[in-house]
Amino acid sequence: MTAPLHRGLRHVALRVTNLARSRAFYEQLLGMKVVWEPDPDNVYFSSGPDNFALHQIPSSELATYQPSKGQLLDHIGVILESPEAVDRMYREVEPRLPQLGGQVVTPPKQHRDGSYSFYFSDPDGIVIQALYEPMIGKLRFSAET
């Protein structure tokens, strides 16, 4: 097998129904930092080696926007360095989720592969996994990787 031609899946872009609400959620709950805001309908964040974008669904589409009955995207995730970090994050975000438009989907649990996580949703129902995974947790990320 040859080496991948990329440096990992480090960019995610989501369409949102209310950019201000979603922006507050990701800034306040996950500590994402704005790196570029080209206009009032788009904002780009980073937490280091990643790039995360929110795009406002245009008002011309929003009036007739119908979210699907089932989310095609299963979830996105944030990596944590230990099971204890997962528990700390859960204790921090769980009481704040309702005021920011989210909710807990699944409380922390151990998975059969040795990983440990919990799931929560953003204001548009996108599911986010806060995950400790033993192999990924050992990796060190920098601007170079």
For each of the domains in the chain, give its residue range(s) and CATH number, in order of start.
11-58+74-137 (3.10.180.10)
Average pLDDT, the chain: 89
Mean pLDDT of 125-137: 89
Statement: residue 115 has pLDDT above 80? yes
Percent of the chain past pLDDT 90, that is, above it, reads 72
10 Å CB burial of residue 94 (0-12, 13-18, 19+) is middle
pLDDT in tens, 49-108: 899 999 999 998 888 877 766 667 889 999 999 999 999 999 999 999 999 999 999 999
For tokens 């986010």, name the residue. 128
pLDDT at 141: 54
pLDDT in the model for residue 43: 98
| Count of CB atoms situated within 10 Å of the CB of 34 | 12
Burial classification of residue 54, based on how many CB atoms lie within 10 Å of its CB (0-12 exposed, 13-18 middle, 19 or more buried): buried
Confirm if 64 and 53 have CB atoms less than 8 A apart. Answer: no
pLDDT over 80 at 25, yes or no: yes
pLDDT at 66: 74
